[in-house]
Amino acid sequence: MAQYMFLLFDDESWHDDLTPDKWEFAMKIHGEFAKAVEAAGARIVDGAALERSSTATTVRRNWDDMAAEPVVTDGPFIETKEALGGYYVVEARDLDQAMELAAQCPAGFIEVRPVMDTSGSPG
């Protein structure tokens, strides 16, 4: 089975009026998603919710001059309406199954990417 990263993007405004009931509901639907993944014969390998993008620090390196000091800035690197709010690493049979599972994931926008196998040489 292959691993796929589900990057979960959403509008962060839900933080502004977060109540215990809304939090409980969010945890409930993510729990239901986890059960659906298992029921499909796949597996969540890892996952986490992230703090708001305003808490981010960005480190930018120049690949052409790795000896140069990196540039460090507060906040996210790019301006966007949706922000990365969390992720799952899902082990699925193939990309088709990963996409079926992503369609059930409770997030506004899900980017699905295969996790690269770095255990051997490329090719």
Residue 60 falls inside a structural domain: yes
Domain total of the chain: 1
Q: How far is CA 5 from CA 16, 32, 56, 113, in A?
A: 27, 19, 20, 5
pLDDT digits (tens, 9 = 90+) for 19-28: 999 999 999 9
Residue whose token pair is 């981010």: 56
25 lies in some domain: no
> For position 107, which CATH number holds?
3.30.70.1060
* Chain segment 32-62, per-residue pLDDT in tens: 999 999 999 999 999 999 998 888 888 888 8
Is residue 116 very low, low, confident or very high in pLDDT (cuts 50, 70, 90)? Answer: very high
- Position 30 in a domain: no
Q: Is residue 122 part of a domain?
A: no
